[in-house]
Amino acid sequence: MYCYNCGCHLSEHDFCTACGADVSVYKKILSVSNMYYNEGLEKAGVRDLSGAVNSLRQSLKFNKNNIEARNLLGLVYFELGETVAALSEWVISKNLRPEKNIADDYIERLQSNASRLASINQTIKKYNQALAYCYQDSRDLAVIQLKKVLSLNPRFVRAHQLLALLYMDGEQWERAERELRKCMDIDRNNTQTLRYLKEVERMLVPDESVRQGAKRKKEETVRYVSDNEMIIQPLNVKEPKNSGVSTLINLGLGLVIGIAAAYWLMVPAAQSKAKAEAQKTITEISSQSDAKTARIQELENEADRLAEQIAELSSEVEGFVGTGGTMQTFDSLLTTAADFVKNGDNAATAADLENIARTVNLEETSEGFQALYRTLLETIGPELSVTYYDEAYEYFRHEEYTAAIEGFTNAVYYDAANVDALYFLARSYHKNGDDGQAVETYQKLLELFPESNRVRDSRQYLRELGVTTE
Binding site for another protein (CB under 8 A): 4-5, 21-22, 25-26, 29-30, 32-33, 60-65, 82-85, 87-88, 91-92, 117, 120-121, 124-125, 127-128, 131, 134-135, 158, 161-162, 165, 168-169, 192, 195-196, 199
- φ, ψ of residue 353 to 5 degrees: the values are -65, -40
Closer residue to another protein, CB minimum distance, 90 or 395:
90
Least Å from the CB of residue 53 to another protein: 15
Beta bridge partners of 232: 223
Closer residue to another protein, CB minimum distance, 55 or 336:
55
Closer residue to another protein, CB minimum distance, 139 or 444:
139
Closer residue to another protein, CB minimum distance, 30 or 44:
30
Long-range contacts of the stretch 198-207 (C-beta < 8 A, 24+): 199/168, 200/164, 200/168, 200/173, 200/176, 201/177, 203/171, 203/173, 204/173, 204/174, 204/177
Least Å from the CB of residue 81 to another protein: 9
Least Å from the CB of residue 12 to another protein: 19
Cβ-contact 58, 91 below 8 angstroms: no
Closer residue to another protein, CB minimum distance, 91 or 377:
91
Least Å from the CB of residue 24 to another protein: 11
The one-character DSSP state at 9 is: B
Rounded CA-CA distance 126/149 in Å is 6
Closer residue to another protein, CB minimum distance, 186 or 438:
186
Burial class (CB in 10 A: 0-12, 13-18, 19+), 148: middle
Closer residue to another protein, CB minimum distance, 199 or 339:
199
Least Å from the CB of residue 131 to another protein: 6
Least Å from the CB of residue 240 to another protein: 43
Rounded CA-CA distance 318/312 in Å is 10
Cβ-contact 39, 55 below 8 angstroms: yes
Rounded CA-CA distance 421/358 in Å is 24
Axis crossing angle, helix 367-397 with helix 419-431, rounded to the nearest 10: 50
Least Å from the CB of residue 105 to another protein: 18
Least Å from the CB of residue 5 to another protein: 8
Closer residue to another protein, CB minimum distance, 123 or 365:
123
Cβ-contact 149, 182 below 8 angstroms: no
Rounded CA-CA distance 197/177 in Å is 7
Least Å from the CB of residue 45 to another protein: 25
The one-character DSSP state at 206 is: P
Strand ranges (E), 159-268 = 220-226, 229-235
Rounded CA-CA distance 107/71 in Å is 11
Least Å from the CB of residue 52 to another protein: 19
Least Å from the CB of residue 29 to another protein: 5
Closer residue to another protein, CB minimum distance, 117 or 455:
117
Closer residue to another protein, CB minimum distance, 203 or 231:
203
Beta bridge partners of 80: none
Cβ-contact 158, 182 below 8 angstroms: no
Closer residue to another protein, CB minimum distance, 173 or 442:
173
Cβ contacts of 33 within 8 Å, gap of 6 or more: 59, 60, 61, 62, 63, 66, 69
Rounded CA-CA distance 350/12 in Å is 163
SS3 153: coil
